[in-house]
Structure 1
Amino acid sequence: MRIEEVASTAKSSRVSPHTHIKGLGLTPAGDALPLGSGFVGQEQAREACGLVVEMIKQRKMAGRALLLTGAPGTGKTALALGIAQELGTKVPFCPMVGSEVYSAEVKKTEVLMEHFRRAIGLRIKERKEVYEGEVTEMTPVETENQGGGYGKVISHVIIGLKTVKGTKQLKLDPTIHDALQKERVSPGDVIYIEANSGSVKRVGRSDAYATEFDLEAEVYVPLPKGDVHKKKDLVQDVTLHDLDAANAKPQGGQDIMSLMGQLLKPKKTEITDKLRQEVNRVVNKYIDEGTAELVPGVLFVDEVHMLDIECFTYLNRALESSLAPIVVLATNRGMCAVRGTDVSAPHGVPVDLLDRLVIVRTQTYTPEESIQILAIRAQVEGVALGEDALAFLAEVAEETSLRHAAQLLTPGAVLARSAGRGEAARGDLEEAHALFQDAKASARQLSAQADKYMT
């Protein structure tokens, strides 16, 4: 007889360059810890971003913009992700790269507006009347078929529901009987039925039957408290783009053209300003009535120097809108031309837009900070390193870049495993460094051997 061990079904997540970032690493007073939430150094930039997070939470940052500037590999994207982690999952965070606006199907300003609307959330609060309880009885009542023919049809369903407080017997429409059949509801199950729509949801099996042995995995839930008929508050989170897209796509009719349109691959089309204004009008009505709440999120635009003058002009207008998210821009450029013009400007951003931005500068890492960052990355990637190997990687980071040094971690670990060692030594990393060139070494080789390359 052969016995095999079953592999775990737990999901294995991919390790990305910023997997170790869990927040901004600040104290409750807003001071940056030397090492916290995966961050090392950049105390001033982290404290500035912490202030931005507090302003977002207090809803005093909407329509404003932040610019993260600094040399490549100094943690600009990590800061943006740290802001997103601090805000939590309920606040929309929409990342994009400047080059995403150049599409063959829609114009640049439409792509920008779409991302703007993705970054603005709407929390809809709805109070629904529901019948909730454990099913004690479920009896379909049949009558003669009025349309003629043989057999009987179900006229209504008698269902009994029980809670801690009492019991109630309901007479339900035959369409609800179909929903009960689809949910596979049987006596002893805990369900709730919406009074308005008639939709049925099976919550689980009552925990009174938890001692039963069932071949199928079953979820046991306690008997609901309160009355059978109650009012329940439901909260739904959507973005403005979700509302735009839902209203822009027609549901289609029964004619041949509608059916063919549903079969064919849908082409990406622009959402008109008229439709967005109508959505805004309805959203403002819900907000005034108190049934919905606006949640301004964060739009993060990396490599903002890739935008051209048309996009920057559009950003100027969009930031003044009443429905505008918090915009976080990032760039590693110094003085360079604004795309689409011959004008040179700081960071490749027009001066009139720079006046609207709050600028946070990131500093280059010290050798001690580089060692700490590399140690964190080694732990995240599951690479065992000796102190000598870590010191060599810090030297490589100082000579080349921190990104290149971090990229040598996994190749060094692979070389160590192929040699039968569990820990990567200095020699493994030296071999990996010799096999892979960094950007500076490649540039030096190109200038030294320019005659051997095509120009």
Structure 2
Amino acid sequence: MVTISEVKTGTSARENRTAAHTHIRGLGLRPDGTAEKVLSGFVGQESAREACGLIVDLIRAKKMSGRAVLLAGGPGTGKTALALAISQELGTKVPFRPIVASEIFSAEVKKTEALMENFRRAIGLRVKETKEVYEGEVTDLTPEEAENPLGGYGKTISHVVVGLKSGKGTKKLRLDPSIYEAIQKERVAVGDVIYIEANTGAVKRVGRSDAYATEFDLEAEEYVPIPKGEVHKKKEIVQDVTLHDLDVANARPQGGQDIMSMMSQLSKPRKTEITDKLRTEINKVVSTYISSGVAELVPGVLFIDEVHMLDIECFTYLNRALEASISPIVVLASNRGVCTIRGTDDIEAPHGIPSDLAGRLLIVPTYPYDKADIETIVKIRAKTEGLDASEEALMRVAEIGAETSLRYALQLLTPAGVIAKSQGRGKIEKSDVEECKELFIDAGRSAGLVTGNFLA
């Protein structure tokens, strides 16, 4: 007998990797802007979350552009989590560009170029365009052939006849053979809902008509209703791009200088140097279309973690970039106290940031977690990682977190789960945590061990 087994897919399958901040779903604020003790995966840091809530409101009101925020606190106090929570609160339509400061140092790209590129990636442009489209359910799809003009026995497609049906009527269209290629790429069949742009001939398959949806259907199709109104209509299409996309697309411009010519170049990116002159010209065109109402600027968020790793040249350039007419909201994070600014011999400053830049920042402090907060975080992480642990084991992990660091304690959870499974148990016990603690030492014990070896 042939064995057939079903491959289970869908929302129940864990397809995504569990990252360090997977459990963060937002800032966890009440409607009046005050923070809950535990909400949206966040625990504690109420004052910092409320401050970040105000920053989110300023960004939404478009009163924060060109300003910068510094999240300052010790390691493992939730600075990166706060930045990601700001991103979650703003939604997917607002660009969010997270980088680590050391990323901008490269042998191939200048520091200032890398910094400006990330600035431009964090600034969005929402272009609204009214297009003439044909939209409806495909009732007929017939390619018509003709003799090959180059001779031989083969035939070529001269045109294709497409029948479309909408809520208020039907139409038959005779289309160019190039559009038939686009129809084939989209895998359009009779019964699909599509729309065709009249100007460009672009074809988009929206989904399968819900008239074909039955409980016995085996295909995992997305069913959509038949479009309302006439088949031929004017439709407003909104397109979201970043300024960096426009920079790359127009580094070697071909075609007109109107906004749609610029947009059409997005599908043909070329790796080449982007000059300040080109960026200035693109800014002028963007400003023109913003003032005429064709496009809307969406200042996003650039998050620079470990900002003390930047050098004095980068900080100087950052000052200039923040003062530009088109700039994003910059969120910086640092876990240093007073330290030497990189690129200088002996200039010390709080958080490793020059005083002239630090004076421009809104500084949000984060504080170490107490034992009760650590216990709650450990329980949330165990649930997020799908681990079954006894209360005793979770309490022991929390104790280790209070003694050493939260990061170290959370890293013990998954190995403890592996040890429990290897011993035939589904639940993590305290002994599994203790075994992991012996196998993997924390940074403090490691430093003591190394120091002892050197002294010996």
TM-score under structure 1 length normalisation: 0.88
Shift of 1:140: 5.7
Q: Does 1:132 align with 2:135?
A: yes
Q: Does 1:70 align with 2:73?
A: yes
Query: 2:371 — aligned with what?
Result: 367
The sequence identity of aligned pairs, in percent, is 66
| Paired residues of 1:45 and 1:361 also in contact (CA < 8 A) | yes
Shift of 1:364: 0.7
Deviates more, 1:190-199 or 1:358-367: 190-199
For residues 239-285 of structure 1, give each alpha carbon's deviation from its aligned partner in whole angstroms, at most 9, with x where no partner exists: 1111111112578xxxxxxxxxxxxxx99653111111121111112
Query: 1:7 — aligned with what?
Result: 7
Q: Which amino acid aligns with 2:301?
A: V
Aligned runs of 1:262-411 on 2, under 5 Å? 269-341=272-344, 342-411=346-415
Shift of 1:332: 0.6
Shift of 1:175: 3.7
For residues 92-144 of structure 1, give each alpha carbon's deviation from its aligned partner in whole angstroms, at most 9, with x where no partner exists: 11011111111001111111000100100111111100112234455666777
Aligned residues: 438
Aligned runs of 1:241-252 on 2, under 5 Å? 241-248=244-251
Query: 2:47 — aligned with what?
Result: 44
Pick aligned residue for 1:237 from 218, 237, 240: 240
Distance 1:447 1:189 in 2: 70
Query: 2:424 — aligned with what?
Result: 420
Deviates more, 1:220-229 or 1:118-127: 220-229
Cα 1:183–1:396 change in 2 (3 A) is: closer
Deviates more, 1:218-227 or 1:324-333: 218-227
Q: Which amino acid aligns with 1:5?
A: S
Report SS of the residue matched to 2:86. helix
Query: 2:34 — aligned with what?
Result: 31
Distance 1:399 1:354 in 2: 33
Query: 1:259 — aligned with what?
Result: none
Cα 1:213–1:249 change in 2 (3 A) is: farther
Distance 1:6 1:230 in 2: 44
Cα 1:396–1:225 change in 2 (3 A) is: same
Deviates more, 1:207-216 or 1:55-64: 207-216
| Paired residues of 1:53 and 1:83 also in contact (CA < 8 A) | yes
Report SS of the residue matched to 1:277. helix
| Paired residues of 2:70 and 2:361 also in contact (CA < 8 A) | yes
| Paired residues of 1:110 and 1:270 also in contact (CA < 8 A) | no
Q: Which amino acid aligns with 2:231?
A: V
Distance 2:412 2:148 in 1: 76
Report SS of the residue matched to 1:233. strand
Pick aligned residue for 2:203 from 197, 200, 205: 200
Report SS of the residue matched to 1:359. strand
| Paired residues of 1:21 and 1:82 also in contact (CA < 8 A) | yes
Query: 1:20 — aligned with what?
Result: 23
Highest Rg: 1 or 2? 1
Distance 1:51 1:169 in 2: 55
Shift of 1:215: 8.1
Query: 1:97 — aligned with what?
Result: 100
Cα 1:420–1:282 change in 2 (3 A) is: same
Report SS of the residue matched to 1:248. coil
Deviates more, 1:205-214 or 1:122-131: 205-214
Q: Which amino acid aligns with 1:75?
A: G
Shift of 1:383: 2.2
Distance 1:212 1:4 in 2: 23
Q: Which amino acid aligns with 1:68?
A: L
Distance 1:199 1:123 in 2: 20
**How large is the Cα RMSD of the aligned pairs?**
2.7
Distance 2:94 2:443 in 1: 38
Cα 1:189–1:89 change in 2 (3 A) is: closer
TM-score under structure 2 length normalisation: 0.88
Distance 2:442 2:99 in 1: 27
Instruction: Flag structure 1 segments of 5+ consecutive residues without an equivalent.
Output: 252-265
Q: Which amino acid aligns with 1:383?
A: L
Query: 1:257 — aligned with what?
Result: none
Cα 1:98–1:150 change in 2 (3 A) is: closer
Distance 1:158 1:26 in 2: 56
Report SS of the residue matched to 2:93. coil
For residues 301-334 of structure 1, give each alpha carbon's deviation from its aligned partner in whole angstroms, at most 9, with x where no partner exists: 0110000000000011110011110000000100
Query: 1:260 — aligned with what?
Result: none
For residues 342-401 of structure 1, give each alpha carbon's deviation from its aligned partner in whole angstroms, at most 9, with x where no partner exists: 201111100000100011110111111111111111111222222222222222122211
Query: 1:226 — aligned with what?
Result: 229
For residues 279-300 of structure 1, give each alpha carbon's deviation from its aligned partner in whole angstroms, at most 9, with x where no partner exists: 1111112111211111001100
| Paired residues of 2:416 and 2:433 also in contact (CA < 8 A) | yes
